[in-house]
Structure 1
Amino acid sequence: MEHRVVFDFAVEFTNGGGVQGQDFRLDMEGETISDQELADYIVADLRLLMVEKVTILNKFYIQEKHKREPVDPDNAKKLIDLSHTIFDGLITYKGLPAPVICDFLSRENSKAKYEEGTEFQIGKIEMVSNTGTYIDCPFHRYAHGKDLSEVSLAAFANLDGVTINAVGVMEIGVDYFKNKEIRNKAVIVRTDWSRHWNTDAYFENHPFINREAAEYLRDCGVKLVGIDSHNIDDTRGNNRPVHTVLLGAEILIVEHMCNLGALPEAGFLFSAVPPKFKGVGTFPVRAFATLA
C-alpha cells in the first residue's frame, strides 16, 4: 500500500521572516514519518538557508498513489551499518578475554550527586583492543609502524569502496581481484561468514585471503582491505602473511564485518574510524558505507 503524509508547516529564519505551507502532501516509504524527518526534508528540498525553526502542524496520513519518489528520511544518502554490536561477554577471538561492560556510576547512585530529577550514567568498559568489528594499523604488526594516533583521518573515512564477492570460498586467491578497479580503493571482501557470528562455527575453517592475493592488492595500491570473516589470514598456522604484507605497506585491515550483502559492487564510500589512541594498533570501529 502506498502512503502519503499531509501536514501544515511554518519555517522561521534567523534573519527574520518565514515561510508557511498548508495541506502539504509528500509520498513516504513507510506508514509513518517523524516531524524532524519532515522538517529536514522541507529544508533540503526547498534549499532553505538560515533556518531557525521548523514547526510541523496538523499532520495525518492517507493511503494514496504516489506522485513522485517517496521521502527518504536519510535525505537521499543511505548509511549501511557494517559493524557487529559489542556486548558484555562477547567472544570475538578464542583465547582473548570478553569485554566487561558495566556502570562506573549508575543512575541510581548519581541521584545523590545532582538535584532531584537529574540522573546520569557513566559506563565502564574493560576489553582488549581486538573486540567486535575492528581496524588494524601497522603498529599491530610492526613495532615501528604507525599507531591509531599517527594514521591520518583521511585513511579511515570516505574511501571509495568496491565489493568483492567471494561467498562460498575458503581460500580467496588473486583471481578474485584481477580485472577490478581497485587502485586507491577500500576493497571489501564479502564471504557472508558473518552469519556464524557469536557461534562456535565462526572460529573454524573460516574464509581468508592468501599471500599471493595480499601481494597483488599491495602492488595495486589499495587503501584498505576489509572482510566479514574471523580473520583475513589463515589461522590454522602461526604465520600471518596477509597482515605482514598489507600492514607493511600501510594498507589498513578491517575484520569481523557484517551486512556486506547490502553493498553494491561499487559507487559507495567506506568509513571505519577508531579513537585517536597513542600506542595502540587495533581498535573497534563503527564501519559503515554511504550510498549516493
Structure 2
Amino acid sequence: MRLVDLSHRLQEGMPHHPMHPRAPVVLTGSLAHDMTARWMGEHPELGRVSFVNEQIVLSGHTGTHLDAPLHAGRDRPDAAEIDLAACVGAATRLDLRKHCGARVVLTAEDLAAALPEGEALSPIVLLNTGWADTLTEDPDRYYRNSMGLTEDGALFLRDAGVRCVGIDAPSIDAPHTPGAPAHLHFLRRDPVVYVIENLRGLEQLPLQVPHFSAAPLPISHSSGSPVRAYALLDEREMRTS
C-alpha cells in the first residue's frame, strides 16, 4: 500500500482566505525544554528529561479543512457532530483539469463527462480541478479567483447519493457565484453532503481510490475543522488496471 498525503502544511504566516483571520495559525509556548529540564530529572541512558508544549490558535477553516453544516446554516450540526463514516472510505476522483481557469464553474455536464462510461461514483467524490497549483504561484489569485461548482453541478452530486465532496481549491463555490449554491445544497439540506476544501495532490490518485480519509477534530460549536487528508492506494491493483 502507498499513502498519499493530500493536505497543506499548517504554519504561521501561511496564505489564507481574505475573509478569514489575518493570522490563521499562531503558536505560543507554554512549556519549554529549558524550563522543564530544571525539575524533570535524568534518564540513565537518554540524558536530561525535558518536555515542550505549545498553545495553538487555529482558524477552523485554515488549510485543508472540512466544513460542518453550521458553516452554512444557523442551528445546523457543528464539527463535533460530523458523521465520520461519510468522510472516510472509498472515493472517486474526477479529473477536471482541462477546465482549469480563473473563476471557472463546473457544471453537471462537466462532472458527468469526467466519469468514464460504466464507472459509478463513490460516496466520496474528489474534484481534481488543478487549481491547487496556483497557490504556490500566486496565493492572492488562488483565493480571489478560484474555481467551484454551479448549482446544477452540486445537485448532480447530491442526487447521485454522494455524501462528501472534496476540491483542490479554497471553496466549493467560486467567489463570484451568487447565492453560494453548492454550500447551501450540501450543508443546509439533509442528508448532509460534507465539504472538504484546499486539498492538494489529487492528480496522484486513480479514478477509484480504495481508501480516503479526511477525519475532522470533534470541536464543539465549531463550523469547521482542519483535517489531515490522505489516500491509501494498492499499487498492485494500479499496475494491473
- TM-score under structure 2 length normalisation: 0.83
Report matched runs for 1:5-24 at 5 Å.
none
Higher-strand-fraction structure: 1
Say if 2:122 and 2:162, in contact at 8 Å, map to a contact too: yes
Find the partner of 1:192 among 130, 138, 161.
Answer: 130
**Alignment CA distance shift 1:281-1:83 (3 Å):** same
**2:106 maps to what in 1?**
172
Q: Alpha-carbon deviations, 1:120-167, whole Å to 9, x = none?
A: 11021112211010001212112232222222321222x211111111
Distance 2:109 2:215 in 1: 30
5+ residue gaps, structure 2: 43-47, 235-241
1:224 maps to 2:164: yes
Report matched runs for 1:114-129 at 5 Å.
114-116=40-42, 117-129=48-60
**1:261 maps to what in 2?**
203
Distance 1:267 1:130 in 2: 25
Say if 1:102 and 1:124, in contact at 8 Å, map to a contact too: yes
Say if 1:164 and 1:176, in contact at 8 Å, map to a contact too: no
Q: Give 3-state SS (helix, strand or coil) of 1:236's partner.
A: coil
Distance 2:68 2:12 in 1: 25
**1:50 maps to what in 2?**
none
- Offset, 1:237: 5.0
- Offset, 1:110: 1.8
Distance 2:107 2:154 in 1: 9
- Offset, 1:236: 2.2
Greater shift, 85-94 or 254-263, is seen at 85-94
Find the partner of 2:223 among 246, 270, 281.
Answer: 281
What percent of counterpart residues are identical? 28
- Offset, 1:192: 1.6
Q: 2:84 is aligned with what amino acid?
A: L
Say if 1:162 and 1:187, in contact at 8 Å, map to a contact too: yes
Q: 1:171 is aligned with what amino acid?
A: V
**Alignment CA distance shift 1:155-1:114 (3 Å):** same
Distance 2:51 2:94 in 1: 44
1:161 maps to 2:91: yes
Say if 1:134 and 1:282, in contact at 8 Å, map to a contact too: yes
RMSD: 1.8
- Offset, 1:273: 0.6
Find the partner of 1:143 among 74, 78, 90.
Answer: 74
Say if 1:160 and 1:270, in contact at 8 Å, map to a contact too: yes
Say if 1:269 and 1:289, in contact at 8 Å, map to a contact too: yes
Larger Rg: 1
**Alignment CA distance shift 1:190-1:137 (3 Å):** same
**1:84 maps to what in 2?**
8
How many residues align? The count is 215
Q: Alpha-carbon deviations, 1:73-132, whole Å to 9, x = none?
A: xxxx11111000000121321132221123221222222241140111102111221101
**1:233 maps to what in 2?**
173
Distance 1:121 1:261 in 2: 37
- Offset, 1:216: 1.2
Distance 1:112 1:94 in 2: 44
5+ residue gaps, structure 1: 1-76
Q: Alpha-carbon deviations, 1:219-263, whole Å to 9, x = none?
A: 111011000012110212563110000112300000000001100
Where relative contact order (Cα < 8 A, 6+ residues apart) is larger, the structure is: 2
- Offset, 1:183: 4.7
Q: 1:193 is aligned with what amino acid?
A: W
Say if 2:92 and 2:122, in contact at 8 Å, map to a contact too: no
Distance 1:132 1:109 in 2: 32
Q: Give 3-state SS (helix, strand or coil) of 2:112's partner.
A: coil
Structure 1 runs of 4+ with >3 Å offset: 179-184
Distance 2:98 2:145 in 1: 12
